[in-house]
C-alpha cells in the first residue's frame, strides 16, 4: 500500500472540554484517511487520540475546562505521528499491564483502560515531560506496506 499523501503537517488547539473530543477525532481521522489508512486503522488512531485527550482532561487538568491541549500531526515515509501536549499535572507512566477486569469490578476502578487501549491500538506510545513544563504524549502508527 502506498501513502496517498506522505507529507502531512497539521495542528489543532482545543480547550480541555470533553465536547471537543468529536472535533479531535474528526481532525485526526481526516488526516489518517488522507495518509492512506483504511477505515479500521482510522478508527483505531482516532480512539487512541481520544483516550489521550480524555486522560489529559481528567488527570492532567483535573476536569478544569479552560486549559489548552495542542495536537500536532506529522508524517514521514510510512509513519503517522500524533503529538499531544498539555500544561497540566505531569503524568508518570507506570508500567500499565492489561487491566484485571475482576479487580476493576471489585474496586469500581475505571482508570487504566484508556492507557491500555492506547497501547493496544498504536504501534508506539511515549510520554515525556518537556523543558517548558509541558507534558507530551507521542502516538505512532505505521502504515503497513
Partner 1 sequence: MNEFKIKIREQSNVQIVDLKGYLDAHTAPEFEQTMQKLINEKKYNILVNCKNLSYISSAGLGVFMAYIEEIRKYKGDIKLANMPPKIYNVFDILGFPLIYEIYNNEEEALNKFLKKS
Q: Where are the alpha helices (DSSP H) in 3-145?
A: 21-35, 39-55, 101-107, 113-121
- Residue 77 makes contact with partner 1 by CB under 8 A: no
Q: Which is nearer to partner 1, 116 or 127 (CB)?
A: 116
- Residue 11 makes contact with partner 1 by CB under 8 A: no
Of the listed pieces 6-14, 87-95, 110-118, 130-138, which binds partner 1 according to CB under 8 A? 110-118
Greatest Cα pair distance in the chain? 47
Of the listed pieces 53-61, 64-72, 89-97, 125-133, which binds partner 1 according to CB under 8 A? 53-61
Minimum separation from the CB atom of position 51 to partner 1 (A): 6
**In whole angstroms, how far apart are CA 55 and each of 18, 88, 144?**
10, 11, 28
Minimum separation from the CB atom of position 87 to partner 1 (A): 20
Q: How many CA atoms lie within 13 Å of 10's alpha carbon, on the beta-carbon side?
A: 20
Amino acid at each position: 500500500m502506498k501513502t496517498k499523501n506522505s507529507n502531512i503537517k497539521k495542528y489543532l488547539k482545543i480547550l480541555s472540554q470533553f465536547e471537543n473530543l468529536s472535533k479531535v477525532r474528526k481532525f485526526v481521522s481526516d488526516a489518517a484517511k488522507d495518509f492512506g489508512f483504511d477505515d479500521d486503522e482510522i478508527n483505531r488512531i482516532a480512539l487512541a487520540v481520544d483516550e489521550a485527550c480524555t486522560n489529559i482532561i481528567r488527570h492532567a487538568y483535573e476536569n478544569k475546562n479552560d486549559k489548552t491541549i495542542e495536537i500536532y500531526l506529522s508524517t514521514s515515509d510510512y509513519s503517522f505521528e500524533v503529538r499531544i501536549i498539555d500544561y497540566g499535572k505531569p503524568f508518570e507512566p507506570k508500567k500499565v499491564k492489561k487491566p484485571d477486569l475482576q479487580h476493576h469490578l471489585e474496586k469500581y476502578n475505571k482508570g487504566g483502560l484508556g492507557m491500555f487501549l492506547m497501547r493496544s491500538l498504536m504501534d508506539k506510545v511515549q510520554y515525556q515531560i518537556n523543558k517548558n513544563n509541558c507534558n507530551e504524549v507521542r502516538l505512532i502508527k505505521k502504515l503497513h506496506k
